[in-house]
Homo-oligomer: A and B are copies of this chain.
């Protein structure tokens, strides 16, 4: 169901995923902010002609049912912004869902590669090849001084946004998270909760990404994010260990209570489920809880989101029906 999420990847118990996306535009067309429907269709058609059909399936956004689109957003495979341009937008998706080429999102092309764990180098290597292959057939909007030109000036230059998604429950529990996040900001990186705004996040999930796309090379940016991520992961793991040493019983109590509720509830909201699954992940990473894996829990995070839940069950559901199905899904998944 969520094929890009795998058990493998460095620091997998802290780093859920690594993602890079490149913003690219055709030189000969107006950028999507000013594009006509006809031009938009031409962009889509040119990309459709260029893309390797044995590797990618290509879709027009408007042809995809609403729930399926929302599910793809929940899986982080396409962006929410793509749905905002659905008259002319589309996307190509690799079979393993690690590669997406979004067409007529904010830019003509948004190329994305997504892997589990801390794997920005691998992801960079892969996305670089995809970009090169496309560039053989498409004349990109490029300026010798500025680099790749984009709809929004914050993307101009490399056109690259590299990010990692981190699970930081121990930093949250010990209230050290804000200090860590402000340190990250001092390095010119952006931090935000994966769900919700700012440092108010659900499930202790945070995303770190580069703010600057001009001036540094892609490799420099990636190296910086990797280094800082590795330090945060180290800190998170140290605190997990010391929580276990100093308050083993309280720690186990929290984890097992979360398990008990998830394994028994008959109705559960996304918010509560995500909060409790976060505790299970913490418990699994510390070997307190056995049976399920971190990766299974990361998949569950996504599978219980509203659209994914409905898509998997091939059923449109009311809020309460979702709460019931969510509880059932979790009960069945937990060992």
Q: Give the contact stretch, choosing among A3-11, A98-106, A121-129, A253-261.
A: A253-261
| Identical chains bound together, number | 2
A33 contacts B by Cβ under 8 Å:
no
A50 contacts B by Cβ under 8 Å:
no
Distance in angstroms between the alpha carbons of A264 and B262 in the assembled complex? 11
Distance in angstroms between the alpha carbons of A265 and B252 in the assembled complex? 8
Instruction: Give chain B nearest CB distance to A220 CB in angstroms.
Output: 47
**Which A residues from 230 to 287 make CB contacts under 8 A with B?**
249-250, 252-253, 256-257, 259-267
Instruction: Give chain B nearest CB distance to A152 CB in angstroms.
Output: 46
Distance in angstroms between the alpha carbons of A32 and B210 in the assembled complex? 83
Partner of A264, one of B250, B256, B265, B266: B256
Distance in angstroms between the alpha carbons of A247 and B291 in the assembled complex? 33
Q: Is the CB of A257 within 8 A of B264?
A: yes
Q: Is the CB of A263 within 8 A of B265?
A: no
Distance in angstroms between the alpha carbons of A256 and B266 in the assembled complex? 7
A324 contacts B by Cβ under 8 Å:
yes
Partner of A249, one of B257, B260, B267: B267
Partner of A253, one of B249, B253, B262, B267: B267
Distance in angstroms between the alpha carbons of A267 and B247 in the assembled complex? 12
- With contact pairs A249-B324, A324-B249 given, residues A263 and B266 touching in the complex (Cβ less than 8 Å): no
- Note all chain B residues with C-beta closer than 8 A to A250: 267
- Note all chain B residues with C-beta closer than 8 A to A264: 256-257, 259-260, 263
- Note all chain B residues with C-beta closer than 8 A to A249: 266-267, 324
Apart from A253-B267, A260-B264, what are 4 other A-B pairs with CB-CB below 8 Å? A256-B266, A259-B264, A260-B260, A260-B261
Contacts A/B (CB < 8 Å), 23 sampled: A249-B267, A249-B324, A250-B267, A252-B266, A253-B265, A253-B266, A253-B267, A253-B327, A256-B264, A256-B265, A256-B266, A257-B261, A257-B264, A257-B265, A259-B260, A259-B264, A260-B260, A260-B261, A260-B263, A260-B264, A260-B265, A261-B261, A263-B264
